[in-house]
Structure 1
Amino acid sequence: VLLAYDVNRPLFSKKANCNELLKEQALSILDKVGMLDQAYVSVLTLSGGMRQRVALARTLIQDKPIILMDEPFSSVDAITRHKLQQLSSVLFSNKTVLLVTHDPLEALIMGHEILLFPIKSAFNPKSPQSQLSVEPLVSLPKPSSLPPRLIGDELSDYHGQLMRIMQAQL
């Protein structure tokens, strides 16, 4: 779409002859993620947190009902991570989101349903007979507050359960 499809190009070209409606939608989404002032700069000049916000904008502009987020907050500092988690919770509140993370606390802060898959799997992608088991090891109930959740007693209890299960796998 209009958002940085080539890492060497700016988010938008001021001279680009593009559909004004699409451009308005893209600018609106960039505004939502706090990147409107960077709309015409090269992606190469953006910080890691800014690039993550642009990635959220790219996802939003596609307007898909199901979103896969694979370690979306892993490469940013704690403050940026918290801001991006809050922003994602608001912007994706009407979507189905599959968040993949290796951080059990992040899963609890962001997730509605937590699925823990076994660390060791017999799946071999090179073998046609091999099958990946999609049965989760444990499914915890949804904590009472909406994401992103603050760390409290309930979240601490769930975190302890997850850590015990994960340690037992080692």
Structure 2
Amino acid sequence: MGDKKKKIILICSDGGHLAQILELRDMFLNYNYLIVTEKSQATIPLKEKYNIRYLKGRSKGQKRNLSFIFSLLVNTFLSLKILMQHYPKVIITTGSHTAIPMCFLGKLVGAKIIWILSYARINSRAFSADIIYPIANKFIVQWPGVQKFYKKAIYLGGIY
């Protein structure tokens, strides 16, 4: 990764959101990239293959309770640290909650925000997407039916 390549951050929750980010590897390997995701048993081995940093994971099924708020605060500080170290021109995300702090902080320092709505969202909204939608420079959906919820969305087909 040369210093002259444009810096980008790809951030997402683990699981299916991360699987979608990894489908973009042919694109992101052309940049000075950094993948940011939750630390879990499944994501730790990725460090051997990719430039990756971890945020605090959360218990699955955890919603808007105190534990979720604590994780969000911790991840906000971790995101700020990562953002200042990598300082990207663009932040690309497939969601979900994990990406919210990075997107807002990145927007504050001038990064372009590209949100790719999850492939699982065939005909429904996503809470985290609703939060980032107003600040996204590009909002991409993978199913045409979702455009009725996100008027400025761009439909480009599926990542898979």
Q: Normalization by structure 1: what TM-score? A: 0.32
Give the number of the structure whose alpha-carbon radius of gyration is greater.
1
Q: Which has the higher helix share?
A: 1
Q: Which has the higher strand share?
A: 2
Q: Normalization by structure 2: what TM-score? A: 0.34
